[in-house]
Each structure stands twice: as structure tokens, then as C-alpha cells.
Structure 1
Amino acid sequence: MFGALGIVLTLLMVFGGYALAGGKMGVILHALPFEMMIIGGASIGSYILSNSGAILKETIPSLIRSFKGPVWHGQDHEDLLCLLFQLLRMARSSPVELEEHIENPENSEIFKTYPRILNNAEAVSIIADTMRSASLNYDDPYQVEDMLSKRIALIKEEQMHVPHALQSLADALPALGIVAAVLGVIKTMGSIDQPPEVLGEMIGSALVGTFLGVFLAYGLVAPIAQRLSAVRQDDMAFYDVIKSVLVAGLQQHATNLCVEVGRQSAPEHVRPSFVSLETALREIKRAA
């Protein structure tokens, strides 16, 4: 919602201000299709040329995600902490029973209680792999923390490929606008024998290329890249919560304390309240 509002406001203020200042929209509208063909076509071509198939395939879903916002919300973080609470408690009371849940999460009644988490293969894999390693006596908290940090860093690097690609495109757009403008000047110079009013319109059309390149770069593409980067960062915090809880569990802290460590490591805007989490954990204990 806010992304669409930002785009509408940007367009309205730029072109509205130009029109109110006495600018003639006809010049821009006449040149727009041709300049967009040059700049848009060149930018799409260079984007395809400079990025892998995986990044290209992920671009459209990522653009949609930049407008929809982060995947994980406050309730998801509370659900995650409840899930980890149950798994840690089972790991200490019945390790054999835990094995069934981490080997086949899709058939686990615990995981099925939290379908949004179960549907995220990466989150489930981190939880299952770490708890499986602990059951095989790979339980040094510092080594596990280092392993998880490296794994999460790799996920983050992959998640940031599209934002970086979009930012590179934004950096290139002003130069592509200059290319379009230079082509317009070349066209104008080929008609130097025309009257001044015709030449003026042709020069104005050429300058539309420079305007479009700069406007698209700093008014649209760069803000979208920045927004997508922020969304990805928010989502990555979910994995940091998993790491905090599991490492605290390996340090043999009380299960409630492990969950509290995870709660406090969540970003403030999605962090469940202490009272809300305690109520949810109490319900789990009562149902057990």
C-alpha cells in the first residue's frame, strides 16, 4: 500500500509541478514512447546480460515482495518461539521421540501446528539440521553458533542478489538516459536546416531521455531496490531468532530462558510481548 502511494505521489509531484510551472506535457508525451524504448530496452537487455538465470527468475517475485512487505510478522515470531520451546523440551525429556519430528517434519504434529513455518523449507531445515547435529553429539555451543552464522550469512547473500542487481540497474539508468539524449542530439543535428521552433522541439525531445534516465533511477528503481533490501533484512531476522534459541539450548539454559533469549533477539516491531508469549507457552504446557 505505501509502495503504491509512494509511486503515485512521486509521479504526481514531478509531473504536476512541471505542468503548473508552465511546462508543455505534449513534448514529453510525444518523445516518451521512443525514449522509453531506448532506455527501457537497453536497461532490460543489460539486466539480462549481467545477471544469472536464477536472479532473473526471482526478479518479478521479489518486486512483488517489495510491495507486499516481509514474509514474517509478529505472530510468526511467537509461533516460532512456541515451536522451538516444544522441540527443546522434548529433546531433554525424550530424545528418541524428538527424532521422529526432526527427521520427518512434514508428518510432525508439532510442526503441523505452525503451517507457515512448516511451509518454509529453509527455516525447517535449519531447525532440523541443528537439532539432529546435537543428537549426534555435535553440541559445542560455540561451534554450532559459528556454523549457524555462516549458514545464515549464505542465505542472506542469496537473498540480497536481486536488491543488488536492481541497485546496479538504478546506477546505470542515468547513463542510458544520456545515451538516449545523445541519439536525440544526433537526430537534431541531422535536421539543422529546419526552423528554430522545429529544432527546439527536437532538442526538448532529446532532453527527455536524460530526464527519464535520472527519474527512473532515483525516483523508482533505487527506492524499490532499497525497499526490497529492507524487506529481506526483516525476513532474515527470523533465522537469527532460531539461532539464538538453539544455541541457548545447547548451553543448557532452562527452556523458558532459551525462548526468552530468542524473543529479545527479534526486531522490536515484530517482537511478541513477554505476556503474550508466556500465555502461549502456558497453553502449550496445559495441553501437554
Structure 2
Amino acid sequence: MAKLIGIIIVFASVLGGYVLSSGKLSALMQPFEVLIIGGAALGGFLQANPGSTIVQVFKKSLKMFSSRFTQPFYLEVLRLLYEILNKSRREGMMAIEADIEDPAASPIFSKYPAILKDERMTAFVCDYLRIMSSGNMAPHELEGLFEMELNSLKEELDHPAHAMARVADALPAFGIVAAVLGIVVTMAMLGEAEQAALGQHVGAALVGTFLGILAAYGFFGPLSTSLEHDAKEELNVFEAIKASLVASASGMPPTLAVEFGRKVLYPAHRPSFSELEQAMRGS
């Protein structure tokens, strides 16, 4: 909701100030300027990024108005870890083999559809539970493996934000390109067109600069920052999973292991100790 309000404020402030200054909205309707700027930005974006990053940018941009990283989601992750670790502690690591080999058919994982929907997170949990069930890796070795994977995961999660930041950086320049092309058209008309027509073409050229700067700093720049926050929150959940599993591998009971994970979560939506305890009792 806050992001939608922010977009409305940008439009209302810029266009409202323009209209109140006796500006005409019709003068800003320049589809060819939009074609030049938007097409060039899209083409550069497609050239600069691999297909996987392009898909991620579009997927995450469409979801920018809502975030799944809320307290209920964090509680689901911690409850899942508690249930699976509790079962392995009571019945042995071999008892969870069926759960981690086919999470979709697992009675534990199936209780948490939001996590099952995230294939990467589900695979992350299952892979490390599989490693832990082998019993051949010391806790510090397991933590080292976690760190290496989280470092590569961070790079992957950061790609969409970086890609969008480069688009935002390029938009003012593409606006200038559109403006220069408009001036070229205007200069070619000197001596042939009336003064009013020349003024309209100069105005259209200046609109190109305006649109490039507005798009960069009013929309695509904030979108890049939003994608960056999303990446940090997603990585934070993986770090919480890591903390819980390493604590369990070190011999901590499930209730204490998930507490390690809870403390890693960002404070904004982190469940309290009592909320987590109540959720585990519900499990």
C-alpha cells in the first residue's frame, strides 16, 4: 500500500504542480518520445542481462506491492524447522528421509504451502537436512558450507536490483537522446514551418528529457531499491534457517535451535519469544 501511495504522490506532485503553473497536459502527450526512451531502455536491459535475471526482474516487479516477508511467514518457517527437527530428534534422522526426499508428499511440509511454493527455499532446507542425516559433517564444517552457498545466493538475489538500478541510471541519458532527436527534427524544419509548429517540436523534445529524468528518479530508481530490500529480506530468511540447522547440528534441542533462527530475523517482523513458543505448541 505504501508503494502505491508513493507512486500516486509522485504523479500528483509533478503533474499537479505543472497544471497549477498553467501547463497543458496535452503538451506532455508525446508517444514517440516514450517509444524512443522506453524502447532504448528495454533493449539495453535485454542486452545487459541473462534470461534468468530478466525473468526474476519481471516476476518480482509484479509483486512489488505486497511482500511475503511478514511475521506469519517467518512463523511458518520456524514452525516447519521445529517440526522437522523435533521429529528427527524423537525418531532419528532416518525418520525424516521420506519428508526431505519428497517434500510435496510430506505431512510436515504440506502444512506450509507458502514454503513449498518457494522451490529454492524448500530445496535449501532439504539439502542440508540430508547432509545432517549423513552424520559425517562436524557443525563448523556444516556452517562453512552454509556460508559458501549463502555468498553465492546473495549474488544471485542481488542481480535484479542491480539490473534495475542500471536501467534507472540510463533513463536520463535516453531522455537526452530523445530530446536531441527532437531538436534534429526541429532544425530540419527551419525555414519551412511556422513559429508555432517549431515551438511545439522544441517542447516535445524537452518532454523527452523530462520523461527520462522522471522515470529514472520517480519510478525505476525506487523500484531498484525495493528489489534490493526484497533480496535482503529473502537472504535473511535463509540465514535464519542456517542458524537453526547449525544449532541443531551442534546438539541444541529443537526449541532452542529455532530460537537461534528467530534471533537472526530482522526486528521489523520478527515474532516474539512467546509468539514462537505458542506457535510451536500449536505444531
Q: TM-score, normalised by structure 1?
A: 0.91
Question: Greater shift after overlay, 84-93 or 253-262?
Answer: 84-93
- Secondary structure at 2:268 match in 1: helix
- Structure 2 counterpart SS, 1:23: coil
Tell me the residue number matched to 2:243.
244
SS in 2 for 1:66: coil
Letter of the aligned partner of 2:104 in structure 1? E
Question: Structure 1 pair 22/142, CA: closer, same or farther in 2 (3 Å)?
Answer: same
2:77 maps to 1:77: no
CA pair 56-79 structure 1, distance change in 2 beyond 3 A: closer
1:141 aligns with 2:135: no
Deviating beyond 3 angstroms after TM superposition, the runs of 4 or more aligned structure 1 residues are: 194-198
2:112 matches 1:127:
no
After TM superposition, give the deviation of residue 172 of structure 1 in Å. 0.6
Q: Measure, in 2, the Cα distance between the counterparts of 1:40 and 1:2.
A: 26
Distance 1:267 1:118 in 2: 22
> Which residue does the alignment assign to 1:220?
219
Corresponding position of 1:115:
113
The alignment yields a C-alpha RMSD, in angstroms, of 1.8
Unaligned runs of 5+ in 1: none
Match of 1:139, SS state, is coil
AA at the equivalent of 1:44 = L
Q: What is the aligned partner in structure 2 of residue 20 from structure 1?
A: 20
- One-letter amino acid of the structure 2 residue matched with residue 92 of structure 1: R
Alignment of 1:1-288 (within 5 A): 1-29=1-29, 32-69=30-67, 71-95=68-92, 96-193=94-191, 194-284=193-283
Deviation at 1:155, TM superposition (A): 2.4
CA shift digits 1:61-92 (9 cap, x unpaired): 121122222x2321121122222122222323
Question: Quick one: distance in 1 between partners of 2:228 and 2:71?
Answer: 19
Are 1:7 and 1:220, in contact at CA under 8 Å, matched by a contact in 2? yes
Provide, for residues 35-73 of structure 1, a one-character-per-residue CA deviation record: whole Å limited to 9, x for no partner. Answer: 11111111112112222222223332121122222x232
Contact 1:141 1:247 in 2 (8 A): yes
Do 1:139 and 1:250's aligned partners in 2 also have CA atoms closer than 8 Å?
no
Equivalenced residues, count: 281
Q: Distance in 1 between matches of 2:239 and 2:263?
A: 11
Q: Secondary structure at the match of 1:68?
A: coil
Task: Give me the whole-angstrom Cα distance separating, in 1, the residues matched to 2:222 and 2:44.
Answer: 20
Identity %: 35
How much does 1:226 deviate? 0.9
Question: In structure 2, how many angstroms separate the alpha carbons of the residues matched to 1:156 and 1:27?
Answer: 45
Q: Return the offset for 1:195.
A: 4.4
For 1:196 and 1:155, the matched residues in 2 are separated by 59
User: Deviation at 1:243?
Assistant: 0.4
Partner Cα separation in structure 1 for residue 205 and residue 280 of structure 2: 65
Alignment check: 8 A CA contact 1:81 1:262 kept: yes
